[in-house]
Amino acid sequence: MEKSEYLDSPKQDSGEAVPPLIKIISTNDLEGFDSNKENSSLINLHPSFPIQPFASSLVESETAVVQTLNEEPQLINHLRKHSVSISMPSSPMKVDMESTKRVVFSDSVETMSVFGILDSSFSSTHGSEQQKFHSQPIPKGSKFAEAVNGENLAAYHPSIKRLRDNRFDSFKTWSGKLERQISNLRGRPWETASENNGAQNAKNEALHVDRYFDALEGPELETLRSSEEIVLPDDKQWPFLLRYPISSFGICLGVGSQAMLYKTLATSASTKFLHISPTINLTLWCISVALVAIISSIYLLKLMLYFEAVRREYYHPIRVNFFFAPWIALLFLAIGLPPSIATNLPRCLWYILMAPIFCLELKIYGQWMSGGQRRLSKVANPSNHLAIVGNFVGALLGASMGLKEGPIFFFAVGLAHYTVLFVTLYQRLPTNETLPKELHPVFFLFVAAPSVASMAWAVIQGSFNNGSRIAYFIALFLYFSLAVRVNFFRGFKFSLGWWAYTFPMTGAAIATIRYSNEVTNIVTQSLCVLLSAIATLTVTVLLGSTILHAFVLRDLFPNDIAIAISDRKPKRHTHRKWFHLRNGSADKKDNENFLKSANTDCRDLEAALKPPCRPESKEAVQASSLSDAK
């Protein structure tokens, strides 16, 4: 509805975004500006693009101002054919940030995901909107569109294939735009944009969640379906940062939980007979601090250099859960703090650590609850436990720091959503596409939430009471029911994400130690030893295989296919889901019919606010083209 308003008055809208000086220049001097008005909003839009670097350079440096001012007339005379190449700001990053913002999100109201993952609490809803125009015809006068997306085009254009490195540019936050702009200035004509539609959108929009389900398969949605193609070259190794996934933080989880385990082993009364030295805890803790520092600084580098890759990871229905991992790892560090370093932590630390988790939860649980394409019946996967377990870990830390109400808050939120997730995962709904068909290490995450919850509840209540025991025994049962199937865990390709699946074992071991403090006898004590040994052994084996893969096989970081799927749908895929459903539950006719319709229909609460998901109607195409152009 709002889009139609834009249709009516594209000029005013774009005009508003233009600083006054440029508005005068562009409207007065730009020949054909007015007469071309009916050519869709691209024309009108044009001033707003070069302005932005211009405006920013005004602020940044005087030289840039001079440069821009000198070249402004040139821009006007050339009639926007080479508009992008003109104004070079002092910082290329700035231009990219600004242009992305201006071009992609200028019509969107609240946030731009350019500024970080946490900020983009609304960008997924925009994603569904902006995803739509990839099959639309580019309106005439596409010079501008090319210029805007020049950096992407350059990557895929056949005539510049020799610049192979450019193929990664669509993922770079700022890239070798300079060369392309120069070549653009030389007058090398860009060819029609329509052939590269899909590629050029790679940067500008968030991928629709259905695309991830359609294009990827495997328990972690990490392998490409054979019918799909990717936007990055698959014949050579990508730059390291592009291959570096968010699931690397799983290592921090694994090692950090080991530090916690050895702290508990060293300090608990029931495990005194083991004579574990506190130095093990200290060593492990220092290692995990170093690991957290290294891994997060590398990931920060990726965030800065390849923002698009991070964004695609964030929209990946399974990877998004791993965005909880860094914060949980920090919580682990705080819990596993060696007593020799400090015993009391400042309380404000807890609030600082929980704030990002809380924001992520608002985002993720809100997506589950209020529909959208990421409703729980679609995206439920054992890795969602990572999004839950942060609550319990936070409650555990807060309660052991002496806080009262905050831990109960997180415990309550966690418990409610854990119940939902637990039931949903057990149901194995036919709409649920990402549930692994066979056993996979990811299932060990089932153990994590109840075991941590039992500890958290024990600390909140002051004793390992019945509530804690219920949670603990649930965890133990789940653990054993997975352990007896352990010989099925074979034949999977090793991935870094496995590290994240070791901390549930460690958590179960710690919970057992807590339990044996309450009920001390030979059975519980031997269970402590057994579970701790298994956890340590698993971590050691993983460490060995990680080293093997890192230094011997050199494939620890394979090309991260999951972030490189194209946003184009191959034609054959239209009815895949229906077949899937038909196979899924053939016996329950009425419910199945219902679910079928529910699955294919995209009118969710959130999506309903936008034009329909697939641009079937012309209005939707037009509206989205306008919104894109703006």
Partner 1 sequence: MVFMSQILQPTMVSPGSQSEGELVIDISTNNSTTTTTTISGTNEQQTISMIIMKRLKQSLNSSLTRFHAGYFRISLSLGGQALLWKTLLGHTVDQNTIRLVLYVIHPTALLVLWSLTLFILILLSLLYILKCLLHFALVKAEFLHHVGVNYLYIPWISWLLLLQSSPFVTPKTRSYLVLWLVFAIPVVALDVKIYGQWFTKGKRFLSSDANPTSQLSIVGNLVGAQAAAIMGWKEIAICLFSVGIAHYLVLFVTLYQRLSGGDRLPAMLRPALFSYFAAPSVASLAWESIAGTFDTSSKMLFFLSLFLLMSLVFRPALFKRSMIRFNVAWWAYSFPLTVLALASTEYAQEVRGGIAHVLMLILIIISVLVSITLAVFTGFNTRMLLPDNDPIASLQINPLPTLST
In whole angstroms, how close is the CB of 412 to partner 1 at the nearest point? Answer: 4
Longest Cα pair distance anywhere in the chain, in angstroms? 90
Q: Which residue do the tokens 């891994």 mark?
A: 295
**C-beta closer to partner 1: residue 349 or 416:** 416
**C-beta closer to partner 1: residue 213 or 365:** 365
* d(C-alpha 305, C-alpha 173), whole Å: 5
The 3-class SS string of 158-209 reads HHHCCCHHHHHHHHCCCCCHHHHHHHHHCCCCCCCCHHHHHHHHHHHCCCCH
Taking the CA atoms of 160, 624, 96 and 174 in sequence, report the sign of the dihedral they define.
negative
In whole angstroms, how close is the CB of 569 to partner 1 at the nearest point? Answer: 20
Closest CA to 259 of 289, 220, 217: 289
**C-beta closer to partner 1: residue 67 or 130:** 130
**C-beta closer to partner 1: residue 125 or 271:** 125
* d(C-alpha 228, C-alpha 553), whole Å: 27
**C-beta closer to partner 1: residue 143 or 417:** 417
Is there a contact between 482 and 443 (Cβ–Cβ < 8 Å)?
Answer: yes
Q: Which residues pair with 565 in a beta bridge?
A: 230
**C-beta closer to partner 1: residue 336 or 414:** 414
Taking the CA atoms of 568, 573, 574 and 577 in sequence, report the sign of the dihedral they define.
negative
Closest CA to 240 of 299, 313, 181: 299
**C-beta closer to partner 1: residue 25 or 395:** 395
**C-beta closer to partner 1: residue 502 or 627:** 627
With a CB cutoff of 8 Å and minimum separation 6, the contacts of 481 are none
**C-beta closer to partner 1: residue 82 or 417:** 417
**C-beta closer to partner 1: residue 412 or 523:** 412
Is there a contact between 478 and 445 (Cβ–Cβ < 8 Å)?
Answer: no
**C-beta closer to partner 1: residue 430 or 497:** 430
Rounded to the nearest 10 degrees, how much is the dihedral formed by the CA atoms of 196, 201, 202, 207?
-130
Query: How far is the CA of 195 from the CAs of 137, 157, 158, 190, 374, in angstroms?
Result: 10, 9, 11, 12, 30
Query: Coil, strand or helix: which one is 583?
Result: helix
Residues that bind partner 1 (CB under 8 A): 121-122, 125, 361-362, 365-366, 368-371, 375-377, 380, 404-405, 408-409, 411-413, 415-417, 419-420, 423-424, 429, 431, 460-461, 590-591, 594-595, 598-599, 601-606, 608-609
In whole angstroms, how close is the CB of 582 to partner 1 at the nearest point? Answer: 17
In whole angstroms, how close is the CB of 562 to partner 1 at the nearest point? Answer: 25
In whole angstroms, how close is the CB of 108 to partner 1 at the nearest point? Answer: 11
Q: Which residue do the tokens 């992407």 mark?
A: 152
Closest CA to 344 of 392, 403, 395, 293: 403
In whole angstroms, how close is the CB of 606 to partner 1 at the nearest point? Answer: 7
In whole angstroms, how close is the CB of 497 to partner 1 at the nearest point? Answer: 25
In whole angstroms, how close is the CB of 430 to partner 1 at the nearest point? Answer: 10
With a CB cutoff of 8 Å and minimum separation 6, the contacts of 33 are 26, 27, 43
In whole angstroms, how close is the CB of 362 to partner 1 at the nearest point? Answer: 6
In whole angstroms, how close is the CB of 16 to partner 1 at the nearest point? Answer: 21
**C-beta closer to partner 1: residue 75 or 415:** 415
With a CB cutoff of 8 Å and minimum separation 6, the contacts of 68 are 53, 54, 57, 58, 86, 87, 88, 89
In whole angstroms, how close is the CB of 462 to partner 1 at the nearest point? Answer: 11
Is there a contact between 439 and 489 (Cβ–Cβ < 8 Å)?
Answer: yes
Could you write out the DSSP letters of every residue in 517-540?
Answer: HHS-SHHHHHHHHHHHHHHHHHHH
* d(C-alpha 480, C-alpha 477), whole Å: 5
What are the respective helix, strand and coil percentages of the chain, to the nearest 5? 70, 0, 30
Strand-strand pairing, 216-217 and 223-224 = antiparallel
In whole angstroms, how close is the CB of 1 to partner 1 at the nearest point? Answer: 9
**C-beta closer to partner 1: residue 365 or 499:** 365
Length of the chain: 630
**C-beta closer to partner 1: residue 575 or 603:** 603
In whole angstroms, how close is the CB of 600 to partner 1 at the nearest point? Answer: 9
Q: Which residue do the tokens 């609304």 mark?
A: 122
In whole angstroms, how close is the CB of 251 to partner 1 at the nearest point? Answer: 31
